[in-house]
Amino acid sequence: MSNLDWNNLGFEYIKTDFRFVAHYKDGAWSAGSLVEDNQLSLHEASPALHYAQQCFEGLKAYRCQDNSINLFRPEENAKRLQQSCQRLLMPSVPVDLFVHACTQVVKANTKWVGPYGSGATLYVRPLVLGVGAGLGLRPASEFLFLVFCAPVGPYFHGGVRPANFIVSEFDRAAPNGTGAAKVGGNYAGSLLPAKLAKEQGFSDCVYLDPATHTKIEEVGAANFFAISKKSGAFVTPSSPSILPSITRISLVHLAKEKLGLEVVEGDIFINSLHEYSEAGVCGTAAVIVPVGGISYQGNLHVFSQEKAGPITQKLYDTLVGMQFGDLEAPQGWITKVS
């Protein structure tokens, strides 16, 4: 195992030993292979550089107590990457190629998977780039599919702590834009709103729906959920401009099947926060961040500044337990890397 301070890792790039590269040309993907070089050579006119014809994914590998390694629902990431590719007129990466590439990268870099109990994981980053000479605004003729990885620490050091957020005046995505695709341009546009939020002392910003600015859609780069005071239901926004999070769809299942909660996928109005007892944001990096409070039009609505709500904590413990192999996961959720 690599000689890292596993208990104090952040979320930063650390070069590992191998990455996977496949090339699309003449209508087909190559078989791909593992390489050691972490530098790419791209044509200066590659559409990925000029017209943002690129998309990516993010998933993690987890070290279990028996020293085996889990990948969590990689097929779902593969399907989402396909949807992103289709939106940008890029060739879809077959699910089996995606899972094979991720598995091979983790297997070749097992020494970079954090030890069980440290909270550290191996973050896996697949991406697709439009490459080759293409000065005009049109799809690339060639593409690269890459998968690299880096060891990362737990998002929380010292437990799951609530965070405060502020509603942004910026839109994350257009009503019929690329919000549901995991494309780099969406994230580039979020840098300024996030910077402004942090300058005001908040962890990140809340994005409202771009059409009416009345409903919560996403928080930073994560999906949102809340627990209804009246019914105890797990409520999460539904919109064509929200990125469908793998963590969120997993929590929807767990809330219903494990916790016995009613699940509602619908509108959460920013003026109705008082109707909810708990709130959280979810994604691959943080799993779940409890929402301590949301600032809107100068007023901070507080859920809890001390600790995660009981349902949020239970969902976190259940999901993390499955990812690290301590709890049995639903069939098909775990891919073992041998």
Query: What is the rounded CA–CA span in Å between residue 189 and residue 191?
Result: 6
Residue 182 token pair = 């995991």
- Please report how the helices 246-257 and 74-87 are oriented relative to each other, as an axis angle in degrees rounded to 10: 130
For residues 181 and 309, is the Cβ–Cβ distance under 8 A? no
Query: What is the rounded CA–CA span in Å between residue 113 and residue 9?
Result: 12
Q: Provide CB contacts within 8 A for 331, sequence distance 6+.
A: none
111 flagged as catalytic: no
Best CA proximity match to 93, nearest among 182, 173, 141, 22: 22
Q: Which amino acid type is present at position 18? A: F
Residues in the chain: 338
Of residues 15, 111, 182, 215, which has the active-site annotation? Answer: 182
**Which sequence positions are flagged as catalytic?**
182
